[in-house]
Structure 1
Amino acid sequence: MPTLDVDSVSAFVLVADLGSFTKAAHALGTSQAVISVKVKRLEDRLGYRLLERTPRKVNLSQRGKTFLRPARNFIAAHQLAIAGLTSTPKRLVIGISDQVAGPGLPALLAQLSAYDPSLVMEVHIDASHTLMDAFDKSAIDAAIVRREDDRRDGELLVRERFGWFASSRWENGEGQALRLASLASSCAVRALATQALDAAGIPWTEVFIGGGMAAVGAAVSAGLAVAPLAYSVAPVGTIDVGARYGLPRLSESDVVLHAAVTDPLSQGAIRRLAASFRSGETGAAIALEPASSAMVA
């Protein structure tokens, strides 16, 4: 029976999750070469190839697919054994902007929990400015937010595109003001969107105001209105109708990480979370609609 080491198995699981040696290296704070050596060492010990490498993507081999679940169980057992050496579980409090937390977030949190069950995670979903206030007051350990105002600190995770999303069956009647769904008036994305509409001379009326992205997403999916959303958080099944109605192009937005953790366990979890945002794991597949000549009157 081959003897497995935790570092090699952890490297394999991370590459499998992120689909990239480079992203896995960033998540672990090391180099791509080190990750490659660890995975190769694991493959040599098992006696078969776990990953199929292509220029653009890393895929699991058939053996790799079979080994992935036992590999997760192996890591979880190791972490639980380590956690048993201390009487106080480590708690990590993370704030994630409601304009950032995409449909894939639950699956990602489940992966983090399975990867390190000894870590107690407390996640707050709120507006970016609210989370930054909490981070500055040391009320939370880390914040993943949209960059707002003139603040330029934080680690850039991804630059996201925005669009005007609506249900595939949604229509805005000719001569009618654009029916808009948005978050509260303090939302920076709402402000940018309405300013762009005003600058383009497109009349709009706010027909739905949601207390969170779940409410706005429900209104959009129900066909009540169109909403300015990042591609990563747009509800599954909605489409960008900006081209169809001649709506102004929305500027991109930076998603940044602010973190103030020093212990290796929390740092590892934060790196894993950041790598997932970089790879787009938290987003959803969005069906794009072809451009049309229809305009908002």
Structure 2
Amino acid sequence: MLWLDAEAVRNFVMVAELQSFTRAADAMGSTQAAVSVKLKRLEERVGRKLIERTPRRVRLSADGALFIESARSFLAAHDKAVAGLSCSSRRFTLGIAGHVAGPEVTTLLARLSQHDPALTIEVQVDNSTLLLDAFDRGELDAAIVRREDDRRDGEVLGPEHFGWYATPEFDHRLGEPIRLATLSRLCGVRDLAIRTLDDAGIPWVEVFVGGGSSLVTAAVSAGLATAVFPSRLAPPGTVEVSRKFGLPDVPATEIVLHSSLTDRRSREALRILACAFHEHRAKAG
């Protein structure tokens, strides 16, 4: 009878999902060499080549593609059994900035749930400033936010590039104040946009403030204003209008992960979240 080692299977799944031995090692808190050894032992045990690696690419082999779903099911059953024996249900609270929480967040959280069924993540979406304040007060265990100007702590997950977006029909006359829609007066992206306009000597007026990202999106999509959005989250039907209206480039910022978690399993979950975030950003880029 064929017996499978759970950690070897976990290494295989991590390499397959992240398409990188380096990122898989980081997520597992291990080394690239150790991941490679465990994968090789698994392949020898099943008598199949599961991962194909070239200097430029890591991908599933034909046999690996057949095995991947069974491997995930095997790990889910294994982790559920272990969680049942240990009764170690855990939870942590995660804050995600509204300008960061793109469509990939649901996928990333689902991946975490598959990795650790005993882990419950409570998610709070708000602006970066409020989330950082909550994290500093100990009300959040971790936060994924836009880098604040006066802080240099946290793990950088990647850059965030912005643009000025409006509908193609949006009308702005040269010399008139540019009409803005912003999330709230506490929003760091609002401060970034206004500071950029002030530095360039361009007059502005806020015609829509607050109400959440969906209402800001609605105001821009209706042609009432322009707004600064992360390029990957620009509303459908809008275009970048900085050149059209002579607006200055908005400086890029960084997305940062702050965490106070210390237990091994929770930190492993955060490593998986960080690696998956890197992966999605790389694909989007």
Structure 1 length as normaliser, TM-score? 0.85
The CA deviation at 1:272 is 0.7
In 2: Cα distance, 1:16 partner to 1:220 partner: 40
In 2: Cα distance, 1:26 partner to 1:273 partner: 11
Identify the residue that residue 124 of structure 1 maps to in structure 2: 124
Q: Once structures 1 and 2 are overlaid, which stretch shifts more, 129-138 or 214-223?
A: 214-223
Partners of 1:162 and 1:230 within 8 A in 2: yes
The CA deviation at 1:232 is 4.0
* SS of the residue 1:139 aligns to: coil
Identify the residue that residue 198 of structure 1 maps to in structure 2: 198
Deviations 1:1-25 (A, max 9, x none): 5322111221222222222211111
Letter in 2 for 1:73: S
In 1: Cα distance, 2:172 partner to 2:61 partner: 51
Consecutive unaligned residues of structure 1, counting only runs of 5 or more, are 287-297
Q: Once structures 1 and 2 are overlaid, which stretch shifts more, 42-51 or 265-274?
A: 42-51
Partners of 2:13 and 2:68 within 8 A in 1: yes
- The reply to whether residue 275 of structure 1 matches residue 275 of structure 2 is yes
Identify the residue that residue 34 of structure 2 maps to in structure 1: 34
Letter in 1 for 2:279: S
Partners of 1:172 and 1:179 within 8 A in 2: no
- The reply to whether residue 158 of structure 1 matches residue 153 of structure 2 is no
Deviations 1:40-64 (A, max 9, x none): 2222223223233233332223333
Identify the residue that residue 187 of structure 2 maps to in structure 1: 187
Root-mean-square deviation (CA, aligned residues, Å) is 2.5
* SS of the residue 2:193 aligns to: helix
In 2: Cα distance, 1:268 partner to 1:237 partner: 39
Distance 1:156 1:78, change over 3 A: same
Q: Once structures 1 and 2 are overlaid, which stretch shifts more, 221-230 or 76-85?
A: 221-230
Partners of 1:97 and 1:127 within 8 A in 2: yes
In 2: Cα distance, 1:236 partner to 1:78 partner: 42
The CA deviation at 1:186 is 1.2
Structure 2 length as normaliser, TM-score? 0.88
* SS of the residue 1:255 aligns to: strand
Consecutive unaligned residues of structure 2, counting only runs of 5 or more, are none
User: Once the two structures are aligned, what percentage of the paired residues are identical?
Assistant: 51
Q: How many residues align?
A: 284
Distance 1:170 1:32, change over 3 A: farther
